[in-house]
Structure formats: structure tokens, C-alpha cells
Amino acid sequence: AKNWYINVQEGGKAYYCEVGLILPNGRFIALVRTNTVHLPVGRVSDVTDEKWMSVS
């Protein structure tokens, strides 16, 4: 698969994902790790002021 999605139930936290192998003795060896993603809290922003930018 080219894309994988993980359902995250809680905002306001930081997450990362590791892909690796589990050895016969049960030890996990990480092969790759994503960057850390900081999710916003699950509410509407308090910032309501308008900001406009001209694009040409």
C-alpha cells in the first residue's frame, strides 16, 4: 500500500509511528520512524479575527 491512515481518537497530543520487526525473543526492533505530529485540541479556535492577503 502507498498510503496508511491511523484513526487517532484524541487531539492535543503528539504522535509518531514506528515500523519494525518483532524478534523471536519478543524484542521489537524499529526500522523506521515518522516525524512527530502535534495535533491541535479538538475544539474551535479562539482566534476569530480576519486576515486577508492579495494574490496576483
Give the number of domains in the chain.
Answer: 1
- pTM over 0.85? The answer is no
In whole angstroms, what is the distance from residue 34 CA to residue 17 CA?
A: 5
56: pLDDT strictly greater than 80: no
In whole angstroms, what is the distance from residue 25 CA to residue 39 CA?
A: 35
The answer to the question of residue 20 being in a domain is yes
The parent domain of residue 31 ranges over 1-41
pLDDT digits (tens, 9 = 90+) for 8-53: 878 889 999 999 999 999 999 999 999 999 988 877 667 777 777 7
The answer to the question of residue 46 being in a domain is no
Q: Quick one: which of 45, 50, 48, 51 has its CA closest to 12?
A: 45
The answer to the question of residue 47 being in a domain is no
